[in-house]
Amino acid sequence: MAALQPNLYLMDNKALFNIGYGLYVLTTNYDNIDNGCIVNTVTQVTSNPLQVAVTVNKGNYTHELIKNSCVFNVSMLTTETPLKVFEHFGFQSGRSVNKFATCEEEHRAVNWVLYIPKYTNAYLACRVNKSIDFGTHTMFIANVLDAQVLSDKPSLTYDYYQNNIKPKPQVENPCNGKRRWECKVCGYVYEGDSLPDDIVCPLCKHGKEEFEEIIETTAPASCILPNLSDASPTECLKTDQPNQEDNNKAQNITAMEQIKLNDNIYYVGVNDRRTDRFENHMELPNGVSYNSYLIVDEKVALIDPVEAGFIEEYLFKIKSVLKDRKVDYLVINHDEPDHSSSIAAVLREWPEAQVVGNAKTFAPLEAFYGPVANKKVVAEGETLTLGKHTLQFFMVPMVHWPESMVTYEQTNGILFSNDAFGGFGALNGGVFDDQVNLAFYEDDMRRYYSNIVGKMAMQVVKAVEKLGGLTIKMIAPSHGLVWRSNPAWVIGKYTQWSQHEGEEGVVIVYGSMHGNTGVMADIVARGAAEAGVKEVKVYDVAKTEVSFILSDIWKYKGVIIGACAHYANMFPNMNLLTHEINEFKPKNKCYGIFGGMSWSGGGVKTLAKYAEEGQWNLVAENVEVKGAAIREEDWDKLYNLGKTVAEAIKG
Ligand code: FEO
């Protein structure tokens, strides 16, 4: 009977050579260190969102840097690549050699990582969103932030490299008289008097067992070895001519429906419905928008760029308005990367643009993205005339970072407020407040406020007071709706939230391992409802992400928190919520505490510690229940806890 299974003991690893690998230079930058290596493991994994994977040996310095930086570029080599490029990137370690000592800085992509401009036909700029540990290697899965075609030369395959670039076995008595061993896995050739026992192939990291001595029998080396004199080792880091990537792209963009705020002021923002969590911790069930605005006058000003992952759509929108014109000023109201991370891509398109910021803008900006060439530093109240439009700048420190400022467009009374007056929620067709049902956005606005700028509520109040002297006809924030019909509505909401004006309602949050503390929460809720409070919200802290709970805590006056014991402490998920409460310090609240003891207690004790540290206004006795709430006295205490807090908020 014929064997159906392959004989594993006769497996020929060379079968793997028949996989159609390409060859790439993988580059990264961490802490101002540039490095790169040769890889053959790049694959596209999804198209929407656009993701690629690359697998890297853990021994490589490039691996170490990517683990820290979470950014990399893939430069795709062509068939014209000389051996010197492989020797430069593959046969030496960045730990001992600076492989980019002679690089040209302009070849940095949007993620501030260098790409290889010569002997390549394209590059991808990527940010890692997941990594998988495979023991000896790590697979990095990354979003593609930018992709550019550099030439029409054919891509280099591993097979082509083996047959046309890699040196062939040499003749007897090679030029230098040394013996040679070839790595059977990748083709690397070692020269020396003998093969060291501890040799590790610098390309594929295999050991001595994979090396085979080359027995040379054919023509002179000089006939076979490629002519290496046609390329210096680092020639690939420079371009022969100015990079002409897509320089006619703007001409080819057809007209699209443009969103106008006023005469020559355009909305050019983007929607993000693919990021799961804002700042990687707040869930985004409705997405978020990164707003940006373009003022076209005698001079062109672009107000705040967008998150780098949306650069292609963003540039398309700008170019559809500008056609042949250029951006003269790029205003950076705020350095946080959800806005600023596309700055390199914008400046690559319009390198003469002046970057407008204040005295605190540029140090963090350059720490994130490297040197900014054309800076324009503006002071409090300073103006910048574009032609018919004049911009004026006001500092709003800590709304949301120390360098935050807003830009006031005097001619039409438009306030470009950056994070202030913003909200979560992608813009579903309606960009302006009069085009949507505000009830849909209000909860996501408050969640944005309470989790992002609420900690700096006093600074928000000061900012609102400072801007009160301006005639504001429209508010154009960097997230969420543009307020053209009723800016007073959003100013009123922000003022209310900043002044901690809670509504009548009780938020009950519990952490429960086996459901007993959850049952207690229901008894507490009955007490609150029976006291006449109609807005009673009960949350399981293990189920509802904290930003939603903090938003409701900000909204309502009553807060009752329950946690079961977990060893000698409390249910672990509750620690994040209580930490956030003490970090953001919502005021004018009436608090209560309860929980289950399990065998030794710890839940209520830990909550009481947080309450003391955060100076919570506890209006009722803490309730701690042994085991489950199966005794009448426990029911009474829990019920009365809810009732007492409810009565306290009703005054
Ligand atoms: Fe939307 Fe603080 O950045």
DSSP secondary structure string for all residues of 34-74: EEEEEES--EEEEETTEEEEEEEETTSHHHHHHHHH-EEEE
Atom of ligand 1 nearest to the CA of 452: 2
* Per-position b or e across 180-204, b if 16+ CB within 10 A of its CB: bbbbbbbbbbbeeeeeeeebebbbb
Q: Which residues pair with 506 in a beta bridge?
A: 536, 558
Atom of ligand 1 nearest to the CA of 401: 2
- What are the angstrom distances between the C-alpha of 334 and each of 169, 235, 432, 488, 555? 59, 38, 22, 23, 27
- For the chain, give the number of residues: 651
Q: Is the CB of 333 under 6 A from ligand 1?
A: no
Gap from CA of 423 to ligand 1 centroid (Å): 10
The per-residue pLDDT for 90 is: 83
Gap from CA of 339 to ligand 1 centroid (Å): 7
Q: Is the CB of 478 under 6 A from ligand 1?
A: yes
- In angstroms, rounded to a whole number, what is the distance separating the alpha carbons of residues 66 and 140? 9
Contact assessment for residue 415 and residue 470, using Cβ atoms and an 8 Å cutoff:
yes
Contact assessment for residue 558 and residue 537, using Cβ atoms and an 8 Å cutoff:
no
Gap from CA of 326 to ligand 1 centroid (Å): 26
Angle made by CA atoms 163, 166, 167, in degrees to the nearest 5: 105
Q: How many C-beta atoms lie closer than 10 Å to residue 341's C-beta? A: 25
Q: Is the CB of 272 under 6 A from ligand 1?
A: no
- In angstroms, rounded to a whole number, what is the distance separating the alpha carbons of residues 205 and 62? 14
Q: Is the CB of 348 under 6 A from ligand 1?
A: no
Q: Is 27 exposed, middle or buried (0-12, 13-18, 19+ CB in 10 A)?
A: buried
Atom of ligand 1 nearest to the CA of 290: 1
Atom of ligand 1 nearest to the CA of 419: 1
Gap from CA of 32 to ligand 1 centroid (Å): 25
270-272/211-213 β-pairing: unpaired
Atom of ligand 1 nearest to the CA of 422: 1
Q: Is the CB of 338 under 6 A from ligand 1?
A: yes
Angle made by CA atoms 590, 595, 600, in degrees to the nearest 5: 140
Gap from CA of 401 to ligand 1 centroid (Å): 8
- In angstroms, rounded to a whole number, what is the distance separating the alpha carbons of residues 619 and 531? 15
* Per-position b or e across 444-460, b if 16+ CB within 10 A of its CB: bbbbbbbbbbbbbbebb
φ, ψ of residue 128 in degrees (nearest 5): -70, 130
Name residues whose C-beta falls within 8 Å of residue 204's C-beta, 6 or more positions apart in sequence.
57, 183, 185, 186, 188, 210
HEC assignment per residue over 465-526: HHHCCCCCCEEEECCCCEECCCHHHHHHHHHHHHCCCCEEEEEEEEECCCCHHHHHHHHHHH
- In angstroms, rounded to a whole number, what is the distance separating the alpha carbons of residues 415 and 473? 8
CA 221 to the chain's CA centroid: 51
Amino acid at 124: L
Atom of ligand 1 nearest to the CA of 479: 1
Q: Is the CB of 55 under 6 A from ligand 1?
A: no
- In angstroms, rounded to a whole number, what is the distance separating the alpha carbons of residues 540 and 130? 28
The two structure tokens encoding residue 615: 């100076």
Gap from CA of 279 to ligand 1 centroid (Å): 9
Report DSSP state, residue 623: E
Gap from CA of 385 to ligand 1 centroid (Å): 26
- What are the angstrom distances between the C-alpha of 511 and each of 7, 184, 508, 541, 543? 55, 58, 10, 6, 9
Gap from CA of 176 to ligand 1 centroid (Å): 62
Contact assessment for residue 212 and residue 179, using Cβ atoms and an 8 Å cutoff:
no
User: Quick one: which of 497, 485, 531, 551 has its CA closest to 649?
Assistant: 531
The per-residue pLDDT for 380 is: 95
Amino acid at 73: N
329-331/354-357 β-pairing: parallel
Write the DSSP assignment of 147-163 as a string of letters: EEE---SPBPBHHHIII
The two structure tokens encoding residue 562: 């329950």
Q: Is 276 exposed, middle or buried (0-12, 13-18, 19+ CB in 10 A)?
A: exposed
Q: What residue owns the CA closest to ligand 1's atom 3? A: 336
**Which ranges of 282-424 would DSSP assign to H, the alpha helix?**
311-322, 337-340, 343-349, 362-369
Q: Is the CB of 127 under 6 A from ligand 1?
A: no
Angle made by CA atoms 107, 111, 113, in degrees to the nearest 5: 45
Greatest Cα pair distance, the chain, in angstroms, is: 100
CB < 8 Å & 24+ apart, contacts of 536-540: 536/505, 536/506, 536/508, 537/505, 537/506, 537/507, 537/508, 538/508, 538/509, 538/510, 539/507, 539/508, 539/509, 539/510, 540/509, 540/510, 540/511, 540/512
φ, ψ of residue 554 in degrees (nearest 5): -65, -35
- Classify 316 as helix, strand or coil: helix
Contact assessment for residue 419 and residue 477, using Cβ atoms and an 8 Å cutoff:
yes
The per-residue pLDDT for 619 is: 98
User: Quick one: which of 504, 334, 548 has its CA closest to 422?
Assistant: 334
Q: Which residues pair with 293 in a beta bridge?
A: 267, 303
User: Quick one: which of 510, 616, 504 has its CA closest to 558?
Assistant: 504
Q: Is the CB of 349 under 6 A from ligand 1?
A: no
The per-residue pLDDT for 31 is: 81
Amino acid at 518: G
In the predicted model, residues of the chain with pLDDT beneath 50 are 1-8, 171-175, 217-235, 238-256
Atom of ligand 1 nearest to the CA of 404: 2
Gap from CA of 426 to ligand 1 centroid (Å): 15
The per-residue pLDDT for 217 is: 41
Gap from CA of 444 to ligand 1 centroid (Å): 15
Q: Is the CB of 419 under 6 A from ligand 1?
A: yes
Q: Is the CB of 479 under 6 A from ligand 1?
A: yes
| Number of DSSP helices (H) and strands (E) in the chain, helices first | 17, 33
Atom of ligand 1 nearest to the CA of 453: 2
Q: What residue owns the CA closest to ligand 1's atom 1? A: 419
The per-residue pLDDT for 250 is: 42
Q: Is the CB of 400 under 6 A from ligand 1?
A: yes
Gap from CA of 478 to ligand 1 centroid (Å): 8
Gap from CA of 280 to ligand 1 centroid (Å): 13
Q: Is the CB of 99 under 6 A from ligand 1?
A: no
The per-residue pLDDT for 463 is: 84
**Which ranges of 186-335 would DSSP assign to H, the alpha helix?**
221-224, 249-252, 311-322
Q: Is the CB of 339 under 6 A from ligand 1?
A: yes
Report DSSP state, residue 261: E
Gap from CA of 556 to ligand 1 centroid (Å): 25
The two structure tokens encoding residue 362: 């540029």
Gap from CA of 506 to ligand 1 centroid (Å): 30
Gap from CA of 194 to ligand 1 centroid (Å): 60
- In angstroms, rounded to a whole number, what is the distance separating the alpha carbons of residues 427 and 286? 9
